[in-house]
Amino acid sequence: MPASQPRSRARDRNNVLNRAEFLSLNQPLKGNQESRSSSRKQSGQAGAAGAQNSNPKERRQSQQLPEEDCMQLNPSFKGIAFNSLLAIDICMSKRLGVCANRASSWGGARSMINLLGITGHGIPWIAGTLICLVKSSTLAGQEVLMNLLLALLLDIMIVAGLQKLAKRKGPYDINPGLLDYLTMDTYAFPAGHASRAAMLSKFFLNHLVLAIPLRILLVLWALCVGFSRVMIGRHHITDVLSGFVFGYLQFRLVEFIWMSSNTCQMLISIW
């Protein structure tokens, strides 16, 4: 036994794997393990302190980011349908804007389309209604004209308010004219000319005795005035269609608050 111990010690000394540089490869030193664990603890404590010192709003935003990304990557069916219809509306409106400028395909007819749009403007209709009201001598005529004047004023105010809320621009960058600024018709949605034409045509069809050809011409005039605004590049197709709807609703509103002959006579006497 005493002789075997020196032999085993000699073998351990002669073994290459027992050297310090090779022992570090197989068995990490305790000092390194302790230093690594202490650095991990310090980094963990620093991260926890940073998380505690961070703003709660930032933590909420960081938590909401994955959900927002999921919402953007997976839009709803309604959002897809709405964006698709909006893109179709813009594309079709640009294609139908054949008189948007002089270089367009129908640029030579731009002046005629502008003249057609003037026939549906509010200022000429208000001025003409006032002239007819001054020259009218019958109570029935004055009653109809006073309610027509009320309908025109309501149309201007309602359309201007809706346009200020929507603030939608037209398909082409076209500056509004002087008459448009006077009636505050500076945005695209809804189309003021379309709403006014629809309201006037419905008003005349209900309160004037017209022959069938005149009735057909009146409806065609309202349609031409509305879609001339698309051809001139001022409005989208949906702006004109919504203008027709709002014009009909304005007519129903005027019918609901219709002023009687006595009320009209009182207002005329004050005026």
Tens digit of pLDDT for each residue in 232-262? Answer: 988 999 999 999 999 999 999 999 999 998 9
Shortest CA distance to 126 belongs to which of 165, 153, 102, 106?
Answer: 153
Rounded to whole angstroms, the Cα distance separating 254 from 151 reads 6
Q: What Rg, from alpha-carbon coordinates, does the chain have?
A: 40
Residue 68 — pLDDT band, cuts 50, 70, 90?
A: very low
Q: Which pLDDT does position 3 carry in this prediction?
A: 54
SS3 content of the chain, % helix, strand, coil (to 5): 75, 0, 25
Residue 37 — pLDDT band, cuts 50, 70, 90?
A: low
Shortest CA distance to 141 belongs to which of 129, 127, 150, 152?
Answer: 129
Give the mean pLDDT of 76-102: 84
Which of 1-15, 62-76, 101-115, 119-133 shows the lowest mean pLDDT across its residues? 62-76
144-168 per-position pLDDT tens digit? 999 999 999 999 999 999 999 998 8
Q: Please name the amino acid found at residue 171.
A: P
CA end-to-end distance (rounded Å), the chain: 136
Q: How many CA atoms lie within 13 A of 61 on its CB side?
A: 5
| Token pair listed for 68 | 């927002």
Q: b/e per residue, 247-262, with b = 16+ CB within 10 A?
A: beebbebbeeeebeee
Active-site residue numbers? 193, 235
